[in-house]
Amino acid sequence: MKINENFLNLKDSYLFATVGKKTTAYKTAHPDRDVIRLSIGDVTLPLAPVVIDAMHRAVDEMSRKETFKGYGPDQYCYGYESLLTSIKDSYRRKGVSLESSEIFISDGAKSDCGNILDIFSADNTVLVPDPVYPVYVDTNIMAGRRIIFADANEQNGFLPMPDKKVKADIIYICSPNNPTGAAYSKAQLKEWVDYALANKAVILYDAAYEYFVDDDSLARSIYQIEGAKECAIELCSYSKTAGFTGVRCGYTVVPQALLRGGVSLNKLWARRQSTKFNGVSYVTQMGAAAVFTEEGERQIKENLAYYRRNAHMISDCLNELGIWYTGGKNSPYIWMKCPNGYDSWAFFDYLLEEANVVGTPGSGFGANGEGFFRLTAFGSEENTREACRRIKNLLINRN
Ligand code: PLP
């Protein structure tokens, strides 16, 4: 018996554990201080009432013999028609037309980010941006793939563009981005699509934060870009869009037009899913189906507006301080340059000790994150306002 030795190449993930440990140690030493966490990557507002009503109705259906549901319909890998229809409608509103057979319901984007790699050879070279959502790197290390990095930095606004000299087979793009909050314009994404088509590569496009986009020049789906259906798979999630982080539901789009070596990737993914996955619960799918109804969209937009106001508060604070940052506009994340030459962890300690505010050190997301710091808009309005007041006080007085 041999283990998968690729796992031994994974780096321990210290980032959030160390943030938690340092925060707890500070709170224990200073129980009188009110520490505010602007490091939260999880949503904090409850599910929208339409979602709750739909889930209650689905539970009631499960309680009666006549309406009880077992395994989901296997025609579309256990996705219910009402959910697939609402997803197709939401894409239509973005100018994209999809077929039910192109949409695969999942328990969230994180699982599919890892699972989708089953359909690709371990020989492929993978291109990921640095800094990056760590799942893209770790899932490829587990499979023993060669990883190369695209430098995201202050010069390119943390939006690296394709380099024709670099040959990659699988390309990760996350827009709006976690951790940097930066979002590609449609024109920039067109360059990535052209690069992928020229290299016969496949883009794995993570659209987990697409609902935060409120600027028409930015893409909400890679399929808004001509040619993308021939080179891209899109991973989406109800987590940040509709507060489903604890409910668990997402979807992956694999277009019928996406072929490599004459083989349909849609067929490979359907085969993979029907072999290794038995679908998402009926109650969850009915809750998700309510999200993209007219009333559902109205209600989730209220929650998004709340997070957006927090993001604007943080951006305004950094604008006043003259601190460089990305995000905050079409994203719940604000990626700031550490002031006064602090490195990421030194700034973390400084902010915790002097302002009692917790953020996430950028260096934890990759080498290019050193000297940067991530703040998030998922906290409460009161805490965000108070944290901004403290940050301003600290940095105006000490600069
Ligand atoms: N992709 C990105 C970029 C994320 O930041 C997250 C969650 O934080 C996910 C995917 C995972 O989302 P889900 O909750 O659907 O698994």
Q: Which residue has the least CA distance to atom 8 on ligand 1?
A: 41
Residue matched to tokens 């927090």: 310
The b/e string for 84-106 (b: 16+ C-beta within 10 A; e otherwise) is bebbbebbeeeebebeebbbbbb
Query: Measured between alpha carbons, how far is 232 from 172 in angstroms, rounded to an integer?
Result: 10
- pTM assigned to the model: 0.96
pLDDT score, position 170: 98
pLDDT per residue rounded down to tens, the chain (399 residues): 999 999 999 988 889 999 999 999 999 999 999 999 999 889 999 999 999 999 999 999 999 999 999 999 989 899 999 999 999 999 999 999 999 999 999 999 999 999 999 999 999 999 999 999 999 999 999 999 999 999 999 999 999 999 999 999 999 999 999 999 999 999 999 999 999 999 999 999 999 999 999 999 999 999 999 999 999 999 999 999 999 999 999 999 999 999 999 999 999 999 999 999 999 999 999 999 999 999 999 999 999 999 999 999 999 999 999 999 999 999 999 999 999 999 999 999 999 999 999 999 999 999 999 999 999 999 999 999 999 999 999 998 665
The stretches of 143-280 forming alpha helices (DSSP H) are 186-199, 239-242, 265-276
CA distances, 21 to each of 17, 24, 169, 358 (Å): 6, 5, 39, 12
Of ligand 1's listed atoms, the one at least distance from the Cα of 244 is 14
Instruction: Using the mean position of ligand 1's atoms as its centre, give its distance from the Cα of residue 4 in Å.
Output: 25
Which residues, judged by CB distance below 6 Å to any ligand atom, belong to the binding site of ligand 1?
41, 108-110, 133, 174, 178, 206, 208, 237, 239, 245, 250
The preferred substitution site among 240, 284, 335 for testing ligand 1, maximizing ligand atoms within 8 Å of CB, is 240
Q: pLDDT digits over 217-254, tens only?
A: 999 999 999 999 999 999 999 999 999 999 999 999 99
pLDDT, position 244: 97
Distance (angstroms) between ligand 1 centre and the Cα of 172 equals: 14
CA of 125 to the centre of ligand 1 (A): 23
Kindly give the distance from the C-alpha atom of residue 133 to the centroid of ligand 1, in angstroms, as a whole number.
Answer: 8
Q: How far is the CA of 109 from the centre of ligand 1 (A)?
A: 5
Strand partners, 372: 337
